[in-house]
Structure 1
Amino acid sequence: MLNIFARASVSRVTDPVGARLVRIGLTPNATTVVGTAGAVAGALWLFPAGHLLAGTLVVWGFAMFDLLDGAMARAQGGGTRYGAVLDASCDRIADGALFCGVTWYLFEVAHDRVTAVAALVCLVSAQVISYIKARAEASGLSANGGLVERAERLIITLVGAGLSGLGVPYALETGLWVLAVGSVATVAQRLVAVRRSAMEETA
């Protein structure tokens, strides 16, 4: 949902940076891989160790590479089909690592099995939300939009984790449950969108 409203504003900031990175010889695909590797390492190393604030900062920092690779692709005149697949695949890996790290923290450090359930719901639904869109597009249908997309998942999870790291009570728990409910709703929204798209084709 945020993607619709924020894309143009973000591009005005990232496009000049992306063009500069291309000029010094970096590639969008390399940026994608580095950003994903850093986010995965931060999520699986810092969160399970209980370093919520540090984990939030590291994952957020490397997640910003996802904005730059798109800007770099535009600076080169447009991305490649391989680059699009690589970017989407790396997004799924980073999302999975984030929720795995948070779930690990909740089970092993916080001993909060109830909130860990919410994290697991977020983990599974994040993959399903993206899969519905990919499978729909492969079938020539549309499944765009929804209440919770990748930007919302990152913001809600990392803000909750960061505030918890600063000592704010129930920040992570609240964020994860809100995200779990929103993610399940988004799965339903996208399935409805696919059905509507299919009915329009046959009408």
Structure 2
Amino acid sequence: MLNIFARAPVSRLTDPVGAWLVRRGLSPNAVTVFGTVGTVVGALWLIPTGHLFLGAFVVTLFVLFDLLDGAMARANGGGTRFGAVLDSCCDRIADGALFAAITWYCFVLAEDTTLAALALVSLVSGQVISYVKARAEASGLNADGGLVERAERLTFGLVGVGLHGLGVPYVLPASLWLLAVLSVITVVQRLVAVYRSAKENAA
């Protein structure tokens, strides 16, 4: 949902930066990989060791590279098919690392199995949400929409972790409960969208 409303204003900010990076000889694929590696290292190093606010801050910085690679691709006149696949795979790796780190923190440091389970549900359902769309598109079907896409999942996870690291009470449980429930709902929404799309194509 955030993707729909934020795409235009964000592009106005990132497109000039992306064009500047292209002129400096950088490739969108290199930026994609750099952002993913930074996200994975920041998440798995800082969050499981209890450095929650710093971890959320570092991960947020590297996640922003995901905006720049798209802007760079547009500056090059459009992305490549390999670049699209690489970007999608790197998104899944980064998301998996973030929510695996949150799961580890909740289970080991916070010793809260309920929160750990919610983080794990968010991790798995987030991967399924993306997979349903990719598999549907490969079959010529539509699976767009849903309550929480990648932008919302990252926002819930990073804000909850960051504010919890600053000592704000209840924010991490609230964010994980909300994210887990909405993610499961989104999986159902996308499967329903695929079912309807398949019926329309068969008609």
So what's the TM-score if we normalise by structure 1?
0.99
Counterpart residue number, 2:165: 165
Give the drift of 1:119.
0.2
Q: In structure 2, how many angstroms separate the alpha carbons of the residues matched to 1:120 and 1:160?
A: 15
Distance 1:176 1:86 in 2: 28
Which stretches of structure 1, 4 residues or more, deviate above 6 A after TM superposition?
none
Q: Give the gaps of 5 or more residues in structure 1.
A: none
Q: State the distance in 2 between where 1:176 and 1:41 align.
A: 22
CA shift for structure 1 position 170: 1.4
Deviation of 1:93 (Å): 0.1
- 1:185 equivalenced with 2:185 (yes/no): yes
SS in 2 for 1:148: coil
Unaligned runs of 5+ in 2: none
Q: Aligned partners of 2:153 and 2:10: how far apart in 1?
A: 17
Amino acid at match of 1:159: V
Equivalent residue, structure 1, for 2:63: 63
**In structure 1, what is the equivalent of residue 19 of structure 2?**
19
- Matched residue type, 1:24: R
Give CA deviations for 1:108-138 in whole Å, capped at 9, x if unaligned.
Answer: 1111111111000001001100000000000
> How far off its partner does 1:62 sit?
0.1
RMSD of Structure 2 on Structure 1 (CA) = 0.5
Structure 1, residues 35-84: CA drift from partner, whole Å, max 9, x if none?
00000001100000000000000000000000000000000000000000
Matches within 5 A, 1:75-154: 75-154=75-154
* One-letter amino acid of the structure 1 residue matched with residue 77 of structure 2: G
**Superposed displacement of residue 202, structure 1:** 1.1
For 2:20, the aligned partner's letter is R
Aligned residue pairs, count:
203
How many percent identity over aligned positions? Answer: 71
**Distance in 2, Cα, partners of 1:94 & 1:173:** 22
Determine helix, strand or coil for the equivalent of 1:187.
Answer: helix
Q: Structure 2 CA distance, aligned partners of 1:119 and 1:193?
A: 25
Q: Which amino acid aligns with 2:133?
A: K
Equivalent residue, structure 2, for 1:49? 49
Q: Structure 1 CA distance, aligned partners of 2:169 and 2:109?
A: 15
